[in-house]
């Protein structure tokens, strides 16, 4: 039994939700998000809340229940507050600079890395070693952060590379004489 799935998703004022054509769409002050509905789950949009219940008593329906409720919660949170991920760059000469729809990264390669920012994502660089990625779609924000981090993952000996804020890098001891 899903414990999180039993709880209904609260819809704050200024946010509207509608189900049409096998799709749940949520509209709020930051924009509109939609997600396809699963056949195993029954969705109900009521007064001020969205409830998610398994449509039948199969194992698959019960397994999807909590996840689908979390996806609905992410839609509501995205159109009201949005999501943000912060990356930190450490290493001599490693830096980032946001220029319009392009993020320029200097990561120790012989060339600069130009990362094209996708539609719906905003990237800020408060200083040259911090990258703030924000948007209304949680999956897209996380995917962009992972793609930027992939250019230079943190290495365990000196800790150089791009890491998430708050991420712990397991450090190894170097060679001994």
Range name among 5-9, 102-106, 111-115 with the lowest pLDDT average = 5-9
Q: Does the 83-164 domain belong in CATH 1.10.287.3510? A: no
Confidence band, pLDDT 50/70/90 cuts, at residue 161: very high
Tell me the three state secondary structure of residue 94: coil
CATH class in words for 9-80? alpha beta
Above 80 in pLDDT, residue 31? yes
pLDDT at 1 over 90: no
Calculate what percentage of the chain has a pLDDT beyond 70.
99
pLDDT band at 115 (very low <50, low <70, confident <90, very high): very high
- What values do phi and psi take at 157, rounded to 5? -90, -50
Q: What percent helix, strand, coil does the chain show, rounded to 5?
A: 20, 35, 45
pLDDT score for 5: 84
In this predicted structure, the answer to whether residue 175 has a pLDDT above a threshold of 70 is yes
Query: CA end-to-end span of the chain, whole Å?
Result: 57
Please state the φ and ψ torsions of residue 3, each to the nearest 5 degrees.
-85, -35
Worst-scoring range by mean pLDDT, 60-64, 110-114, 136-140, 161-165? 60-64
pLDDT at 169: 92
Residue 123: pLDDT above 80? Answer: yes
Domain(s) labelled CATH 3.90.930.12 in the chain stretch across 9-80, 83-164
3-state secondary structure of 72: helix
| pLDDT exceeds 80 at position 88 | yes
The distance from CA 121 to its chain's CA centroid, rounded to whole angstroms, is 10
pLDDT band (50, 70, 90) for residue 29: very high
Whether residue 130 is predicted with pLDDT greater than 90 in this model: the reply is: yes
For the chain, give the mean pLDDT: 93
State the pLDDT confidence band at 176, using cuts at 50, 70 and 90: confident
């Amino acid at each position: 039994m899903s414990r999180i799935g039993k709880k209904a998703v609260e819809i704050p004022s200024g946010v509207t939700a509608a189900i049409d054509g096998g799709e749940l769409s949520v509209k709020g002050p930051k924009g509109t998000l939609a997600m396809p509905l699963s056949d195993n789950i029954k969705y109900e949009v009521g007064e001020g809340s969205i409830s998610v219940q398994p449509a039948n008593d199969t194992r698959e329906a019960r397994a999807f229940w909590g996840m689908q409720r979390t996806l609905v919660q992410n839609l509501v949170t995205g159109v009201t507050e949005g999501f943000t991920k912060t990356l930190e760059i450490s290493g001599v000469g490693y830096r980032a600079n946001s220029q319009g729809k392009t993020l320029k990264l200097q990561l120790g390669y012989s060339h600069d890395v130009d990362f094209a920012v996708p539609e719906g994502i905003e990237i800020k660089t408060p200083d040259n070693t911090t990258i703030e990625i924000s948007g209304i779609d949680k999956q897209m924000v996380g995917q962009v952060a992972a793609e930027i981090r992939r250019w230079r993952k943190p290495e365990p000996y000196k800790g150089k590379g791009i890491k998430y804020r708050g991420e712990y890098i397991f450090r190894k001891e170097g060679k001994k004489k």
